[in-house]
Amino acid sequence: MLQATRNDDTTYRDRKRYAWLLSLVVPCTVAVGPALMLWTGEALALWTPVAFFYLVAPLLDWLLGVDQSNPPESAVPALERDRYYRRITYLLVPVLWAAFIFSTWFVATQTLPWHGVLAMVLTTGTVGGFCINLGHELGHKNSRLERWLAKVVLAPTAYGHFFIEHNRGHHRDVATPADPASSRMGESIYRFALREMPGALRRAWALEKDRLARQQQPQFSWHNEILQPALITLLLWTALALWLGLFVLPFLVVASFWANFQLTSANYVEHYGLLRTQDASGRYEPCQPHHSWNSNHLFSNWALFHLQRHSDHHAHPLRRYQSLRHFDHVPQLPIGYFGMFTLAYVPPLWRRVMDPRLLAMAGRDATHINIDPRQRAQVVRRYGLRDGAQPVG
């Protein structure tokens, strides 16, 4: 049986209590590039936040190392009740909105070369990825306030359907071929995106349509929890266009696409190739800790509300970020999410790093791996996997 690493202190003190404030600082990096550009007069300075997220953040993860400590279960109820942790997430909502609006204003009011606009698209989209991450944390909670804040923070990037799809679809189908949000071995992140992005929207709409039908409510009504954040998106984007000009609309579309691709990147990393087994009736086993890739790297966990302790999240979706646990003997990523995203964007490098880890977890048995059907024969031959009872040379 998998065991969480224990911390048996009689009086528990959360050593990361104030480190969570980093989540409020990271989105503010959106202002660093513009400030440097105005100071130096050089538009290349706008690439500073991009370099921070994809180069410096992985380096910080490597330098700071990992933290496998867990709060003792006796301390978890008090941790969950401590409103300090919730207030951080509440405060982050307006911080993210401000960062998103600021970057849009900057692009609309400055004369930038094409590479400067591209840098701002990537920076704004990355901040939008933090919006989706916060929407993930808030959207899993039962309180009406937190669920509404999830809709509000998902709205800038036009991804309001996420918490419907994620909570009711992904958590049900995770690590199975039926899940568009679980990546398959042999599937590049770009091919995965073509399956995951439209598949998530279709599944979200189908799930919400079924819910409304059970409640005898029309699907095109205020009761539709996909249309609610979509209306906020429409109001925000319309207000920005009226204020700053129609030019901002293509910028918002492309920046939001990059934000949504950050979620796609996380989904790609979190369950790559992992597979739940089926019984004789075709039913899948319950999701277990070994059906998620995990990371205990400090910097990215501080910035992402322990999203990388993904096994415990799937086992206990309502558990708050400060209480999520490390488990021994579950799939481990070699670096935090920022570094893994960079690896994923170069598929040959991703396969070189991740395929051996996946094969070790699956005992080199193809029946225990979620493999892209189009690549199955090639993957089995390349790695000499057992496929069913017969070894393949």
pLDDT digits (tens, 9 = 90+) for 277-318: 998 888 999 999 999 999 999 999 999 999 999 999 998 999
Q: Residue 84: inside a domain, yes or no?
A: yes
Q: Residue 61: inside a domain, yes or no?
A: yes
Please say whether the beta carbons of 306 and 290 come within 8 A: no
Q: Residue 10: inside a domain, yes or no?
A: no
Listed as ranges, residues in the chain with pLDDT below 50 are 1-9, 389-393
Scanning the chain, the segments in alpha helix (DSSP H) are 22-25, 32-40, 48-51, 57-64, 76-81, 83-109, 114-139, 144-154, 162-164, 171-173, 189-214, 227-244, 248-270, 298-303, 310-315, 337-344, 347-361, 376-383
What is the number of structural domains in the chain? Answer: 1
Q: Residue 282: inside a domain, yes or no?
A: yes
pLDDT at position 281: 87
Q: Residue 3: inside a domain, yes or no?
A: no
pLDDT at position 387: 87
Burial class (CB in 10 A: 0-12, 13-18, 19+), 138: buried
pTM of the model: 0.94
Q: Residue 54: inside a domain, yes or no?
A: yes
pLDDT at position 145: 98
Residues of 114-135 as b/e, b for ≥16 C-beta within 10 angstroms? Answer: eebbebbbbbbbbbbbbbbbbb
Domain span holding position 304: 19-361
pLDDT at position 10: 52
Which of 320, 292, 293, 321 shows the shortest CA–CA distance to 305?
321
Q: Residue 4: inside a domain, yes or no?
A: no
Q: Residue 78: inside a domain, yes or no?
A: yes
